[in-house]
Amino acid sequence: MKSFNKIAIIGVGLIGGSIGLAVKKRRLAKQVVGVFRRPSSLKKALKARAIDRGTLDTAEGVSGADLVIIATPVGLVPAMAKKAMPHMAKGAILTDVGSVKGFVEREVVGSVSQGIKFVGSHPMAGSEKSGVEFAEADLFKGALTILTRTRRTDLAALRRIESFWKALGSRVKILSPEEHDARVALVSHLPHMVAQSLCLILDETSEPYAASGFKDTTRIAASDPAMWTDIAATNAPAIEKALDLLIRDLCWLKLLLSEGDVRSIGARINQAKRIRERLEGGAKGRRA
Amino acid sequence: MKSFNKIAIIGVGLIGGSIGLAVKKRRLAKQVVGVFRRPSSLKKALKARAIDRGTLDTAEGVSGADLVIIATPVGLVPAMAKKAMPHMAKGAILTDVGSVKGFVEREVVGSVSQGIKFVGSHPMAGSEKSGVEFAEADLFKGALTILTRTRRTDLAALRRIESFWKALGSRVKILSPEEHDARVALVSHLPHMVAQSLCLILDETSEPYAASGFKDTTRIAASDPAMWTDIAATNAPAIEKALDLLIRDLCWLKLLLSEGDVRSIGARINQAKRIRERLEGGAKGRRA
């Protein structure tokens, strides 16, 4: 991959910090600059060696960068994009790492400044941990990154961003924002919401009986609330559709239980096991 | 703990095999005999050193044993108990390791032979793996074992069984069969059914996008289908109640999403995270 001159990362947490570490380790840019809201975050990112230098001034941070990456919670992406674009160089590429893409495309693309090329990215990596102190240079290795393409997407910029994520060790798939949001609602957003529900309905007297089956199933309920509130708010229609599918299936199971239809219940359990085992041969991605 | 003379284990899979290994490692019995239906299973159990000797003859296997442990899938426990009891010594203790206790109490206690003392056990240990080849002598170390007590329970036998599980490294709690079934439906049976549902509603085009968040949440969907069909069939009313709680909560979430009530959604996510983090300080049990 042709290296970048200057990469600016707006928001240097787990994902932004891991991008910084990965870029520096692989020498994919001459300079990695972090853009921060709080001096304390800047200090932590420097300490983690995730950036070469940091600034609280967005204009200064993004000026002259040939790649700007917004790695804030998804709800802040449009506002940060609008703040950054007027100060970006002509021909520079802008991307984000948000878990919801329709919202970002709608809000950002409408206001893209002339000469700025926007490509949405969603690296399906991370964990229930958050913060630059958990950043890792190899976080994206073997993970899947989804890029979004619309009829307004600049194809050269799309290829450049594809090479960038591949250089970070990621596999890449390209989807429309709508298809991205539907798939991810099913494989990521829904499981998070369900894990939260399982915790919420647990009465205190039952808590001592929660062993590792429960703990594994609900581990992702400990994920960053700000990030997940954002995701719920920005991908609500797709999550509602996924919830509908699940609720319908659970109601069906309830009926089978009340009818004592052991044969159908057994068939469900067998089928689920086959699907789950097939996944082990599939995506090697980490947390998403 | 006063050691046993002869322990007979009926059904030597992951749990039965781990009991055998644990008893032998800790020298809690002079002799551990496995009772099998298939010669091939007997051979595997011997190879895993989970038993001292094995037999296909239930009568011979349990005769003279002061402790008989039924470690078959829960649906078979009553039939195995009825087969074993006529050949058991007077004063011998009978226990099982099933994940559903109301069913076992109802079916077994009614037919307990004179002089046989029945105490239900549920070691909340195991994994999505099954088979004696995955048995471990320390499977129960730090795990929780629930014993059931009814007004017919022999208290001396209950104490003896409590000491037995503690000698295997387990913590012990004593509940009524009904309370056991309600708690375990919520913390174990429901998460399994939900993990299965999440797999069942996944369309094939979405499968490549399932990363480790999905995989962790659905790991338990790969558990032994025979065992879980049995559990669903024998604890249906408690699982239906738990399903009701979950379905109601998911419908509530759907309403919040459709109304765009971001504040309430955020409050849910925060609350779920607090509950989930509290669990880390709680039960240290393994798979259940």
pLDDT digits (tens, 9 = 90+) for B91-110: 999 999 999 999 999 998 87
Amino acid in the structure at residue A257: L
Residues in chain B with CB shorter than 8 Å from the CB of A206 are 183, 186-187
Tokens 């042709």 sit at which residue? A2
Q: pLDDT at residue A132 above 80?
A: yes
Instruction: Give backbone dihedrals phi and psi of A181, rounded to 5 degrees, phi first.
Output: -65, -35
Percent of all residues in chain A with a pLDDT value above 70, rounded to a whole number:
97
Contact A213 B192 (CB under 8 A): yes
Nearest CA among B52, B56, B121, B113 for reference residue B88: B113
Residues in chain A with CB shorter than 8 Å from the CB of B191 are 198, 213-214, 217-218
Q: Which among A176, A203, A235 is the end of a domain?
A: A176
**Nearest chain A Cα to B245, which residue?**
A201
Q: pLDDT at residue A288 above 60?
A: no
Determine the distance from the C-alpha atom of residue A162 to the mean position of all C-alpha atoms in its chain, rounded to a whole number: 16
Q: What is the largest CA-CA distance in chain B?
A: 68
Instruction: Give backbone dihedrals phi and psi of B119, rounded to 5 degrees, phi first.
Output: -135, 120
Q: Does residue B267 share a domain with residue B162?
A: no
In a domain, A268, yes or no: yes
* Average pLDDT value for residue range A160-168: 98
Say how many C-beta atoms besides its own lie within 10 A of residue B188's C-beta: 25
In a domain, A22, yes or no: yes
| Residue B283 confidence (pLDDT) | 43
Which of B221, B260, B286 lies closest to A211 in CB terms?
A: B286
Tell me the pLDDT tens digit for each residue of A239-272: 999 999 999 999 999 999 999 999 999 999 999 9
| Residue B164 confidence (pLDDT) | 98
Q: What is the mean pLDDT of chain A?
A: 94
Nearest CA among B236, B271, B287 for reference residue B127: B287
Q: pLDDT at residue B282 above 70?
A: no
Mutate to test the interface with B, among A216, A241, A284 (most CBs of B within 10 A): A216
| Residue B162 confidence (pLDDT) | 98
| Residue A281 confidence (pLDDT) | 67
Contact A243 B253 (CB under 8 A): yes
d(CA A105, CA B10): 61
Residue A47 makes CB contacts below 8 A (sequence gap 6+) with none
Domain count, chain B: 2
Q: How far is the first Cα of chain B from the last one, in angstroms, to the nearest whole number? A: 26
Distance from CA of B25 to the nearest CA of A (A): 25
Q: What is the mean pLDDT of chain B?
A: 94
Contact A257 B249 (CB under 8 A): no
Interface confidence (ipTM) of the complex? 0.88
For residue A170, the enclosing domain spans: 4-176
CATH code: domain of residue A249: 1.10.3660.10
Q: Which among A129, A149, A176 is the end of a domain?
A: A176
d(CA B110, CA B78): 10
Q: pLDDT at residue B274 above 80?
A: yes
Residues in chain B with CB shorter than 8 Å from the CB of A209 are 124, 144, 146, 173, 183-184, 187-188, 283, 288
Contact of A193 with chain B, judged by CB distance below 8 Å, is answered with yes
- A255 membership: H or E segment, kind and range: helix A236-259
Distance from CA of B233 to the nearest CA of A (A): 6
Contact A262 B229 (CB under 8 A): yes
Among the residues of A85-200, which ranges form H helices?
Answer: 102-104, 155-167, 177-184, 190-200
Q: Does residue B238 share a domain with residue B217?
A: yes
Q: pLDDT at residue B285 above 60?
A: no
d(CA A23, CA A135): 12
Order of strands, edge to edge, in the sheet holding B171-175?
B53-55, B29-35, B4-10, B67-70, B93-96, B117-123, B144-148, B171-175
In a domain, A286, yes or no: no
Find the range with the poorest average confidence among A106-120, A130-144, B48-62. Answer: A106-120
Q: Which among A154, A176, A198 is the end of a domain?
A: A176
Q: Does residue A151 share a domain with residue A122?
A: yes
Decide: B165 and B147 in contact? Cβ < 8 Å.
Answer: yes
**DSSP for residue A113:** P
Query: In chain B, which among 108-127 make CB contacts under 8 A with chain A?
Result: 124-125
Q: Does residue A117 share a domain with residue A226?
A: no
Contact of A151 with chain B, judged by CB distance below 8 Å, is answered with no
Residues in chain B with CB shorter than 8 Å from the CB of A218 are 191, 217, 276, 279
**Nearest chain A Cα to B202, which residue?**
A186
d(CA A29, CA A20): 10
- Strand-pair partners of A94: A68, A118
Tokens of A76: 């802040």
Say how many C-beta atoms besides its own lie within 10 A of residue B83's C-beta: 16
Contact A246 B196 (CB under 8 A): no
Tell me the pLDDT tens digit for each residue of A78-104: 999 999 999 999 999 999 999 999 999
Q: Give SS3 for B110.
A: coil
Q: pLDDT at residue A110 above 80?
A: no
d(CA A154, CA A160): 10
| Residue B281 confidence (pLDDT) | 67
Tokens of B31: 């002799």
* Average pLDDT value for residue range B158-173: 97
* Average pLDDT value for residue range B182-200: 97
| Residue A285 confidence (pLDDT) | 42
